[in-house]
């Protein structure tokens, strides 16, 4: 129906959230303010969705061209790669064995990691390590990885700036942070829709669909080298560096 089509076009962008956009209605009753689900509650949501997640989001991601965006982003990765919030590991097939030495995936959902573990063949011959870990406290030393990747994870982090700062900490000085995210729209009517459905969205799918991703990234201290947006501005592809380039004195 029309509402579903609009929902897909607006934001069928996320491993974390594609189905909810497909189900969003244009006209909904304003929600009564109430506490958002806790981190533990949202983790339980992801655990419950893990086994059926790929089937749940496959059609919406295909409609929105998300796999093309995943491929474009992952083809930029090189060296030792950390994928944060790896989820059901929908990116593994897109890494280049000519450029990537290893991939380490972390997630706070054990059930999602179990699904990811079953996809090792998608990454061969690149070795894969998986670790149960919170994005707010990434259990690796400073300057460990050449590339840090996150696709549709910032929307679901309890403290997104803290998580982004952790990504910045573990990437090498000359490394890169690659983000494919969905969040706030630069179309007022679309942003209004996202704002009105946020409570239901978080409760059902564990993520916040209306976050200003660019602002969060800059607040975390990352320098955005490349920014592309589509789906009414609600899908972001960001290539980031740890620091802004040093201007050479004349």
**Pairing mode, if any, of strands 235-241 and 223-230?**
antiparallel
Beta carbons of 147 and 175 less than 8 angstroms apart: yes
Q: How far does CA 36 lie from the centroid of its chain?
A: 20
pLDDT of residue 131: 98
pLDDT of residue 112: 96
Between CA 33 and CA 183 the distance in angstroms is 20
CB neighbours (10 Å) of residue 197? 22
pLDDT of residue 25: 40
Between CA 114 and CA 48 the distance in angstroms is 12
Between CA 227 and CA 37 the distance in angstroms is 31
User: Which phi and psi (to 5°) does residue 216 adopt?
Assistant: -65, -40
pTM: 0.83
pLDDT of residue 2: 30
Instruction: Classify residue 63 as exposed, middle or buried by CB count within 10 Å of its CB (0-12, 13-18, 19+).
Output: middle
Q: What is the pLDDT along the chain (250 residues), one digit of tens a residue?
A: 333 333 433 444 433 443 344 444 444 455 555 677 777 777 888 888 899 988 888 888 888 899 999 999 999 999 999 999 999 999 999 999 999 999 999 999 999 999 999 999 999 999 999 999 999 999 999 999 999 999 999 988 989 999 999 999 999 999 999 999 989 998 999 999 899 988 888 888 778 889 999 999 999 999 999 999 999 999 999 999 999 988 755 5
């Amino acid at each position: 129906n029309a509402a579903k089509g609009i929902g897909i076009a607006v934001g069928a962008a996320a491993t974390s959230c594609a189905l909810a956009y497909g189900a969003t209605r244009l006209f909904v009753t304003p929600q009564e303010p109430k506490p958002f689900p806790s981190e533990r509650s949202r983790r339980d949501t992801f655990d419950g969705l893990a086994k059926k997640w790929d089937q749940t989001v496959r059609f919406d991601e295909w409609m929105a061209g998300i796999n093309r965006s995943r491929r474009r982003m992952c083809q930029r990765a090189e060296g030792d790669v950390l994928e944060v919030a790896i989820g059901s590991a929908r990116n593994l097939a897109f890494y280049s064995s000519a450029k990537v030495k290893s991939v380490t995936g972390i997630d706070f959902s054990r059930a999602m990691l179990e699904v990811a573990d079953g996809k090792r063949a998608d990454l061969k011959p690149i070795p894969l390590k998986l670790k149960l870990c919170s994005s707010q406290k990434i259990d690796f030393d400073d300057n460990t990885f050449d590339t840090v990747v996150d696709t549709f994870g910032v929307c679901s982090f309890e403290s997104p700036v803290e998580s982004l700062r952790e990504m910045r900490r573990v990437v090498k000085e000359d490394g890169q942070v690659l983000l494919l995210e969905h969040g706030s729209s630069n179309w007022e009517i679309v942003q209004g829709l996202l704002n009105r459905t946020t409570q239901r969205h978080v409760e059902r799918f564990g993520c916040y669909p209306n976050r200003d991703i660019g602002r969060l990234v800059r607040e975390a201290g990352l320098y955005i080298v490349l920014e592309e947006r589509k789906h009414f501005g609600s899908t972001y592809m960001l290539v980031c560096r740890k620091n802004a380039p040093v201007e050479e004195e004349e």
